[in-house]
Amino acid sequence: MKKNTYFGILNCTLLCGMGIFLAFYCFYNQVELKSGLAIIAGTLIGYGIYSTLQYLKLSRAK
């Protein structure tokens, strides 16, 4: 595997991992939606997937 692929996997793992952790934290501790943690978790998961796909698409185009 190329160095770019490793970076893409690491990027997705870190961002999505933080988002999933926050989502489970909010669920188990019954954090209210108005605190914003659930929104941050969803944003991290979505941005992790989006940025990884864009990075891998850009690295393949070179």
**Extents of the domains making up the chain:** 3-61
Q: Which residue intervals of 1-62 are DSSP H helices?
A: 3-28, 37-61
Per-residue confidence (pLDDT) for residue 62, from 0 to 100: 67
Tens digits of residue pLDDT in 25-51: 888 888 887 788 888 888 888 888 888
Give me the long-range contacts of 8-16 (CB less than 8 A, separation at least 24).
Answer: 8/52, 8/55, 8/56, 8/59, 9/52, 11/48, 11/51, 11/52, 11/55, 12/48, 12/49, 12/52, 14/48, 15/44, 15/45, 15/47, 15/48, 15/51, 15/52, 16/44, 16/45, 16/48, 16/49
pLDDT band for 24, please (50, 70, 90 cuts): confident
Confidence at residue 13, expressed as pLDDT on a 0 to 100 scale: 85
Q: What is the pTM of this model?
A: 0.73
